[in-house]
Each structure stands twice: as structure tokens, then as C-alpha cells.
Chains A and B, each alone.
Chain A
Amino acid sequence: MLALWIILGIVVILLIFFIATYNGLVRLRNQMRNAWAQIDVQLKRRHDLIPNLVETVKGYKIHERETLEAVTKARNLAQSLSGGDVGARSKAEGELSNALSRLLAVVERYPDLKANQNFLALQEELTSTENKISFSRQYYNDSALNLNNKIQMFPSNVVASMTGFKPGEFFEVTAEAERAAPKVSFS
């Protein structure tokens, strides 16, 4: 009789553990998907801002045709890939980031443009959107790391493999300029 109760107790404990772990995994996966949706929102916002920026800059007759065209091209490529897989998208978006930062660097040489309120507002929006993209990517990668840890570590890996959880894919930075972030010295 006692043995039966002990076995029953163990089964109940295992069941509770299973449910708790499963729910935890689902929560992490939802958090990751949510974070992914957030990246999407920001990338789309950037695609929407660029035509505006290009128009404003064009009005000032700057002599940087190629830089402008590179931005438009990168933007169109990134937009056409927006339904695609993570790897291809992060590459295209990385190139767009590069083209954009080149354009914004060029613009520094045109004081007239820098005095334009419309342009300043656009620049603030673009800077912030760039930040939001990297923050949402950061949060997405943290969420993916959390989920992957759970999926690979014992004992939650047992539950994960039984219920078929797949590890999340990281949103890597492929742009060379971003990867080679300068070392910060605190002195």
C-alpha cells in the first residue's frame, strides 16, 4: 500500500514538473516570437522612412548620386526579402544599415541641409529607428539564447525533445562596419 502511494506521489511530481517545464518553454518561445515581431515593425518603419529621406536630400542637389542610389537599392532589396528567412534578411538589412550610415556621413558636409527642420526631424527618426532595430535585435537574441539554453540543458531538454521544440535562430550582424565596433576605453 505504502509503495503504491510513493509511486503515485512520484508520478504526480513528475507530471507537475513536466507541465511547469512545458509552460516555461512555451513562454520563452512566445517571448522570442514577440521580439521577432518587434524587429519586423522597426525594419518596416525604416523602409518607410527612406524614400522620404532620399527626397529631402535630393532637393539639396548634393553631388553624391551613388550614395543615394546605393541606399535606395539596398532598401528595395531588403524590402523584397522581408518575407524571407532570418539569414538572408539580416544580411540585406545589414547592407542597408551600411549604406544609410554612409549617406548620413556625407550629409554632414552640407550645412544647409543640416539646418533644415524637416531633415533634422527625419534624422532623429532614423537614428532612433536604427537604435530600436539594434535593441529589438538584442532582446530577440537574448530571448533566443534563453530558449536555446532551456532546450539544451538537463532536465528541461527531455521535455523539449518530447514535445518537439526547435532552437531559435540568432539575428546576426553581418555588416562589417557594425561588427568591427571600436573598443571603448574607460579612463
Chain B
Amino acid sequence: MWQQIRANQWRSVVLTTGMAIILLLIGYLVGYYFFDNAIVGLIIALLVWGGLSLLAYFQGDSILLSLSRAKKITRDDNPRLYNVVEEMKIASGLEKMPDIYIIDDPALNAFATGRDPNKASVAVTSGLLAKLNRDELQGVIGHEMAHVKNRDVLLMAICAVMLGTIVILAWYTTRILFFSGAGSRRSSSSGGGGGAQAIILLVGIVLMILAPILAQIIYFTISRKREYLADASSALYTRYPEGLASALEKIAASPIQLKSANQATAPMYTINPLRQKGKAAANLTSTHPPIQERIRILRAMAGASFADYDKAYKGVRSSSGGVIRGAAGLVGKVELRAPSKETKTGEELSEKVERTRQTSDMMWRLSDYKTLDCPCGTRLRVSSQFKGVDVRCPHCGRILPV
């Protein structure tokens, strides 16, 4: 069953190689125009790429987590989340428990990071924690675990850095070529044949403009493939695709956008954090497959195996090409499990209120606020900056010790 992941990685490797070729081509052109020597350009391109890659490899996860202002939590902060993560860790066969982070944001989203499965972190927003029931949370965490287990985090980091390098090099080169006419130095030194030089220059500029776009398309293609695979893996881990489907539905219905996401970090999330309301994601320029399509595929699954996902994918997209290669040759049938009690009985209002309250209590605690319960039923939050010995309840006037 797990060999399929390797089969799928092959396609990603081909696409990544394509991106590397574009990067080298850019380097070659840079060297050709500025240094009369293509090798120098290649070296520059590789140095920029190597430097950024090292940074991403060793610091990527901490940069990402601090950019999104995520706070690390322990088991006692939120036993439900911790348990769900541990359940998915067991189901995916991951060896080490990932670190868990909370982002204080009402938007519904989650992401996974970490360069290898033994040094992984998952982050979820407080909004997600408050809105999803146990089965749904399990589906989302399963999706994130799949990113960790399938090494998508590393793959996407490599690709993102490569894309970044291509964009930077192409941007500067076209600007310099346009405004300083660096190419003219070359044509004058070689005397005649200025017409041929001009053509080469033109072709170069066109390539410089096309390369970032092409690289971006490749990047999005890889990203979308990995999203489908993560959905399929989540269904396999939980044996309950409906959980993720219904979570995606809630996420799609929520109008709030994530505050701390940007173009570069978008592929890391469960759903695209930058989507615009009322605009269908264009197929080529989106890091994530359309959310409604993902829901339909998950709901069309007859079992929980990759083969079932592949079949559902073909059915929904009415295409003959599957998304998981070699899935049809799998041995054994993987049955779905029944929904948990929480889902079966339907959500009661009291459960929703309790979950929201727990989440907000945790967020106050994480921001170093003390909670005081007044006998009149009022709950007071006291900042750690507060120097006084006691506070007066604004409701009933009692004096409470801090």
C-alpha cells in the first residue's frame, strides 16, 4: 500500500527536474549577456539557489511558523487536538510525534512543515479548532500528516525556492537589459552581425519573461498533485473520507481569510488561503484543486484505499487518467468505518459552544492572561502585565484576589 507513494513521487521528480532545467537556462542566459561566459551565469544561478535552499532547509520551518505567528502547545493546553494528532501519527505509521502549533486566527486552515518526518510540525488556526468536530479535525490532521509522511513539505520547499530563484534572476535580468542596454557591449565587441545579436537578445528577453510563468505552472501542477495524494492518504488513514469532506465544506463556507498567508506559503495550507470569494480557481494558476471538486471526489469513494480514491477521481473529473499511479494493482479491500458518536448524533449547540469556549480559554492562556471566576458567574481575564493585588468585578462589585 505504501509503495504507491514512491510511485507517485516519480512524477514529481520529473516536474522538479523540468524546473531545474529552466533555472539552469536562466543562469546560462545571464552569463551570456553580462559576463560573456555562460558558465559564470550557471554558477551564479546555482549559488543563489543553493544559498536559498540551505536557508529553507535549516530555517524554513521556524521562519514559516514565526511568519504565521504560531504558538507551540502541549498536551494539557488542548487534549483533544493533541489526541487527534497522536491518533493520526499512529495511523500513518510516523515514528515521531510532530510538534503542534496554534495560530490565533478566526479563519479555518492548517498547515504542516518540517524538512523530514522526524522533525515535523503541524499548525492549526484557533478558528479551525473551534469549528470542526472530532471526525472533521481528524480528516484535516490526516491530510497534514500525509504531507509530512509523503515528504511533500521538503518537495514543495525545494520547488518554492527554485521558483523564487527563477523569478528573482529573470526579473533583474530583464530590468537591466531594458534600462542599461548591457547587451550592446557584446554586439559592439563582435563587430558585424549586429542583426543576429539583436535576435538573440530578443529571444533571450522573451525566454526571461516566459520562464517564471512556466516555472509557476510547473510549481502549481506539482502542488495540486500532492494535494490530491494527501486527500487520498487522509481517507486511507482515517478510513472515513466524509470527515475531511465535511471539514472542507465548512472551510469553503467560511468567509474569513487568513491574515498571515502570502503567495509563497500558500501551498503549505490545507486549502488555498488566498482564494477570493465568488471566483472559481483557474485551473493552471492555483496551488490547490477546486475545493468543491475535492469534496465530490471524497464523497464518491466506495472504500478507503488509494484505488477507491483514484476511481472516484476519474468518475468526478470524467477523465481516464487517474491521479495516483499504480493504484489499481493494489491487493486487498479497505473498508470505511462508521462515523463516531459525535457525528452520528448530530452536533448539539452546547457542544459547539463548549468547543468555542475551550478554544478561546486556551488562546487567553497562551497569551499569558490569568482567568478569574467571580462567584456571580462573570469570568475575568487579567493580563500578566497587571501589577495590582486584586481586581473588582465590574458586574457585581466583589473584590477578587489575583
Q: Which residues of B contact A186 (CB under 8 A)?
A: 242, 299-300
Pick out which of these stretches binds chain A: B102-110, B186-194, B281-289, B329-337.
B329-337
Q: Mark B1-36, 1 if CB is under 8 A from A, else 0.
A: 110000000000000000000000000000000000
Q: Which residues of B contact A146 (CB under 8 A)?
A: 1-2
User: How many residues of chain B have a CB within 8 Å of chain A?
Assistant: 28
At the interface, yes or no: B86 with Cβ under 8 Å from chain A? yes
Q: Which residues of A sit under 8 angstroms from B83, Cβ to Cβ?
A: 124-125, 128, 131-132
Known A-B contacts A124-B79, A124-B80, A146-B1; the reply to A139 vs B90 at CB < 8 A is yes
Q: Hey, what's the 0/1 contact readout for B328-356 against A, CB within 8 Å counting as 1? A: 00011001111110000000000000000
- Beyond A146-B1, A181-B337, A181-B338, whether A31 also contacts B93 by CB under 8 A is yes
Q: Considering only CB atoms, which chain A residue lies closest to B91 in the complex?
A: A135
User: When chains A and B are docked, how far (Å) is the Cα of A113 from the Cα of B240?
Assistant: 30
Q: Is the CB of B338 within 8 A of A184?
A: yes
Give Cα A88–Cα B321 distance, bound, in whole angstroms.
46
A169 touches B (CB below 8 Å): no
Q: Is the CB of B90 within 8 A of A135?
A: yes
Is the pair B90, A184 in contact by a Cβ cutoff of 8 Å?
no
B window 147-203: CB within 8 A of A = none
When each residue 233-254 of chain B gets 1 if its CB lies under 8 Å from chain A and 0 otherwise, what string results? 0000101101000000000000
Give min CB distance, B293 to chain A, whole Å. 15
Contact B90 A136 (CB under 8 A): yes
Q: A-side interface residues toward B, CB under 8 Å?
A: 31, 35, 38, 42, 121, 124-125, 127-128, 131-132, 134-136, 138-139, 142-143, 145-146, 149, 181-182, 184, 186
A residues in contact with B340, CB < 8 Å: 127
A139's partner among B91, B240, B299, B338 (CB-CB below 8 A) is: B91
| Residues B126-149 near A (CB distance < 8 A) | 134
Contacts of A125 in B (CB 8 A): 79, 83
| Minimal beta-carbon separation of B348 from chain A (angstroms) | 12
- Interface presence of B361 (CB below 8 A): no
A–B pairs, 26, beta carbons within 8 Å: A31-B93, A121-B79, A125-B79, A125-B83, A127-B340, A128-B83, A128-B84, A131-B87, A132-B90, A134-B337, A135-B88, A135-B237, A136-B90, A136-B91, A138-B239, A139-B90, A139-B93, A145-B331, A145-B332, A146-B1, A149-B331, A181-B335, A181-B338, A184-B339, A186-B242, A186-B300
Q: What is the 8 Å Cβ interface bit string for chain B, positions 260-285, against chain A (1 contact, 0 not)?
A: 00000000000000000000000000
